[in-house]
């Protein structure tokens, strides 16, 4: 068997291990910075929550904005949710309901998630 050394990167996540404490930390800072840059949100202002409270998104029968772009952006955010930002689950679920027929209101809510990612890009998940 070949020694592959200690795991440091997997699926775009940086991994640190503390064997004595029995702890594994996952970081997605690089991925989050890449998606912020790709979607032109690198210089947005950070906020402390991913969605506004009591915000109700209305459903449409036809899209007002580019649905494919909206879906691509939401998918990039969803990957960070699955990796280390578990607190994005509610916002991603709410925004996912409108992937077929998004409007500007949904795009604004998506921007708020980017603002939150800007604030939390240095966070990590510990196992």
What global pTM score does this model have?
A: 0.78
3-state DSSP assignment of residue 40: coil
**Residue 24 burial class via C-beta count within 10 angstroms: exposed 0-12, middle 13-18, buried 19 and up:** middle
Interval 71-122: pLDDT, tens: 999 999 998 888 888 888 888 988 998 888 888 888 888 989 999 988 887 7
Spell out the domain ranges in the chain.
29-126
Report yes or no: 111 and 50 within 8 Å, Cβ to Cβ.
no
β-bridge mates for residue 108, sequence order: none
């Amino acid at each position: 068997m070949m020694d592959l050394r200690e795991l440091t990167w997997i699926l775009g996540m940086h991994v640190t291990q503390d064997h004595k404490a029995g702890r594994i930390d996952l970081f997605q800072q690089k991925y989050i910075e890449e998606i912020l840059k790709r979607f032109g949100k690198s210089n947005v202002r950070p906020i402390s929550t991913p969605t506004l409270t009591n915000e109700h998104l209305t459903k449409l029968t036809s899209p007002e904005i580019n649905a494919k772009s909206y879906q691509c952006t939401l998918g990039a955010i969803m990957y960070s949710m699955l990796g280390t930002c578990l607190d994005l689950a509610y916002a991603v679920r709410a925004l996912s309901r409108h992937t077929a027929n998004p409007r500007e209101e949904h795009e604004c809510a998506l921007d708020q998630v980017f603002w939150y990612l800007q604030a939390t890009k240095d966070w990590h998940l510990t196992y």
